[in-house]
């Protein structure tokens, strides 16, 4: 009996020792596994050069793709992105009539550096007496301006220009001399009271087409500026501007653009601010032309033609194959002078600016006391060619018809 109890006790001990060995074995294996894993991580981190081995790459989930593809999937950002500036004129009520207040509130928006203003060197400014303010105020060199008072789209080709020392230059000759990269056309104030919008557009079409045919330039058509006088209602001007803007979009999809710097000159009533006209409520004060240059600079950048300080793209300066030029009548002794030639002569003698007027210095002036140019007058109706008297030319023609010259020649002989 005692023997059996001893055997049973031994059996129980053996069973207990066996269970203990089975339970403790996994713990030793787990500890060994964790130890080996930590050792491997330490070893790899000390010897890794940054390039994953083949096993590691193979273990990357397929949805993540190749590590190198992550960089290639990022879109390339443009290295020379052009940020087009914007401006919004919000002023205090006193700024409408006080130029000092207006200037202090908007100057920072419209300031341009000399490098930004260098687009003027590639440009030609063409238009009426408002356009002539660029050179009359000394803001743009006269070498880049071809403008005449009383000029309009309806009478554009009745005029010639004094350009770079040469008198009586036709528009085609001006383009050939200047070879501009950009042409800014500014006219219309002498059209709003004379024609309807559709006629204005058709007249302007001829000017635009002559510019395209006579140069390789990009053409920018300026909106008519607002007024603060009884010369014309601003609602009429707005209608002309809306019509020509749509006309350009429909008829000239390439090389012709529309811009409006007059929007920055308006007060809350849509009129020209009282502090921004030169005295007659129609023509502009000097600072308006700096705003105009800012808007031209912005328009060039918007069209991808200027990066802020230099032109974008290439430009062909050679002369176009075909240059359209208005018909010109050659006057000879004994031949009747044509109405068109007489109109040009009359316009020159009655509208020629005094030669003795000193040129303003071509510096960026921000003074508010710049005097009004004496030669700037309110636009008036241009006399139609058929109504211009020719009496001033007739005596010379009559003298040319009398033939006493043969006798004089014989006497000299």
Residues 6+ apart with CB under 8 A from 224: 188, 189, 192, 237, 240, 241, 262
Structure-token pair, residue 338? 């044509």
Which pLDDT does position 165 carry in this prediction? 93
Per-residue pLDDT at 41 exceeds 90? no
How does residue 15 score in pLDDT terms, banded at 50, 70 and 90? low
Average pLDDT, stretch 188-196? 97
The whole domain housing 250 covers 112-312+351-357
194 touches 381 (CB < 8 A) = yes
- Residue of 42 and 151 predicted with greater confidence: 151
Residue 294 lies in a domain: yes
Specify whether the CB–CB gap between 244 and 66 falls below 8 A: no
Average pLDDT, the chain: 74
d(CA 186, CA 221): 6
Q: Could you tell me if residue 58 is inside a domain?
A: no
Q: Are strands 218-222 and 256-259 parallel, antiparallel or unpaired?
A: parallel
CA distance 191 to 239: 13
Among 142-156, 226-240, 317-331, the minimum mean pLDDT is found in 317-331
Q: Is residue 275 part of a domain?
A: yes
Tell me which H or E stretch contains 123.
Answer: strand 123-127
Q: Please state the pTM of the whole predicted model.
A: 0.61
The domain tally of the chain equals 1
Q: Is residue 364 part of a domain?
A: no
Instruction: Please check whether residue 212 lies inside any domain of the structure.
Output: yes
- Answer whether residue 373 is part of any domain: no
pLDDT of residue 342: 38
130 found inside a domain? yes
CATH number of the domain bearing residue 165? 3.40.50.1110
Instruction: Examine residue 151 and state whether it is found in any structural domain, yes or no.
Output: yes
- What would the DSSP string read from start to end of 5-58? HHHHHHHHHHHHHHHHHHHHHHHHHHHHHHHHHHHHHHHHHHH--S---HHHHH
CA atoms within 13 A of residue 304's CA, in its CB half-sphere: 6
Q: What is the average per-residue pLDDT within 51-58?
A: 45
Q: How far is CA 360 from CA 137, 367, 378, in A?
A: 6, 13, 21
- How many angstroms from the chain centroid is the CA of residue 33? 73
What does the pLDDT look like over 75-118, one tens digit per residue?
A: 444 444 778 989 888 899 999 999 999 999 999 999 999 999 99
How confident is residue 17, by pLDDT bands cut at 50, 70 and 90?
Answer: low
- Residue 136 to residue 146: CA distance in whole angstroms: 11
Q: What is the pLDDT of residue 132?
A: 97
> Which pLDDT value is given to residue 67?
42
């Amino acid at each position: 009996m005692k023997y059996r109890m001893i055997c049973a006790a031994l059996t129980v001990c053996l069973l207990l020792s066996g269970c203990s060995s089975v339970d403790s074995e996994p713990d030793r294996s787990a500890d060994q596994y964790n130890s080996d894993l930590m050792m491997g991580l330490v070893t790899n981190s000390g010897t890794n050069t940054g390039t994953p081995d083949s096993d590691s790459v193979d273990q990357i989930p397929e949805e993540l793709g190749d590590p190198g593809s992550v960089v290639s999937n990022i879109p390339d950002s443009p290295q020379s992105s052009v940020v087009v500036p914007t401006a919004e004129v919000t002023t205090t009520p006193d700024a409408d009539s006080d130029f000092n207040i207006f200037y202090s509130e908007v100057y920072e928006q419209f300031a341009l550096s000399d490098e930004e203003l260098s687009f003027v060197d590639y440009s030609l400014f063409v238009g009426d007496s408002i356009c002539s303010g660029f050179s009359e105020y000394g803001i743009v060199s006269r070498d880049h301006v071809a403008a005449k008072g009383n000029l309009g789209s309806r009478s554009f080709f009745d005029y010639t220009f004094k350009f770079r020392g040469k008198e009586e230059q036709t528009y085609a000759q001006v383009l050939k001399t200047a070879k501009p990269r950009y042409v800014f056309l500014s006219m219309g104030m002498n059209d709003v009271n004379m024609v309807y919008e559709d006629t204005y557009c058709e007249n302007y079409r001829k000017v635009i087409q002559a510019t395209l045919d006579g140069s390789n330039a990009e053409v920018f058509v300026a909106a008519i500026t607002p007024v603060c006088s009884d010369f014309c209602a601003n609602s009429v001007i707005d209608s002309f501007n809306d019509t020509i803007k749509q006309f350009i979009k429909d008829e000239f999809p390439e090389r012709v653009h529309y811009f409006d710097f007059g929007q920055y000159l308006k007060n809350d009533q849509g009129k020209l601010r009282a502090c921004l006209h030169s005295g007659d409520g129609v023509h502009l004060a000097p600072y308006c032309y700096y705003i105009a240059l800012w808007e031209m600079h912005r328009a060039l950048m918007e069209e991808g033609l200027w990066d802020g300080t230099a032109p974008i793209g290439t430009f062909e300066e050679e002369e176009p194959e075909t240059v359209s030029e208005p018909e010109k009548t050659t006057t000879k002794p004994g031949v009747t002078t044509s109405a068109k030639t007489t109109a040009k002569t009359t316009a020159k003698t009655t509208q020629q600016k005094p030669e003795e007027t000193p040129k303003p210095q071509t510096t960026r002036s921000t003074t508010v006391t710049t005097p009004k140019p004496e030669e700037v007058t309110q636009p008036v109706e241009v006399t139609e060619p058929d109504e211009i008297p020719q009496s001033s030319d007739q005596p010379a023609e009559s003298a040319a018809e009398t033939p006493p010259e043969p006798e004089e020649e014989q006497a000299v002989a």
